[in-house]
Amino acid sequence: MINNNLKICKCGYKINDPHIVAKTNYSSWGWFLFTILGMSAKPISIDFICTVCGDKLESSTDQETLKRFIGR
Ligand SMILES: [Zn+2]
């Protein structure tokens, strides 16, 4: 679960705001599966970043959250 009340960036956006994007990070093996073999690899972590100010609101390694971003 993402705690939506947790953090606000410099410009006042929260994680569910459209200005906040989720950037997925893959391990080199996950990247290989995903890019070379076209398999859906699960990211190892997800950063929630504001596209306006560049603040990183949160870095999530929560398994349930990661599952929602498989293949992104
Ligand atoms: Zn911001």
Distance (Å, whole) CA 30 – CA 15: 25
12 Cα: distance to centroid of ligand 1 (angstroms): 6
Q: Kindly state the percentage of the chain with pLDDT values over 70.
A: 89
Give the pLDDT confidence of 2-61 residue by residue, as tens digits: 554 578 999 999 988 999 999 999 888 877 777 788 877 888 999 999 999 999 999 999
Beta bridge partners of 60: 46
Strands laid side by side in the 20-25 sheet: 20-25, 45-50, 56-60
**Contact indicator for 49, 15 with CB cutoff of 8 Å:** no
48 Cα: distance to centroid of ligand 1 (angstroms): 11
Give the pLDDT confidence of 18-35 residue by residue, as tens digits: 999 999 998 888 777 777
User: What pLDDT, on a 0 to 100 scale, did the predictor assign at position 4?
Assistant: 47
40 Cα: distance to centroid of ligand 1 (angstroms): 30
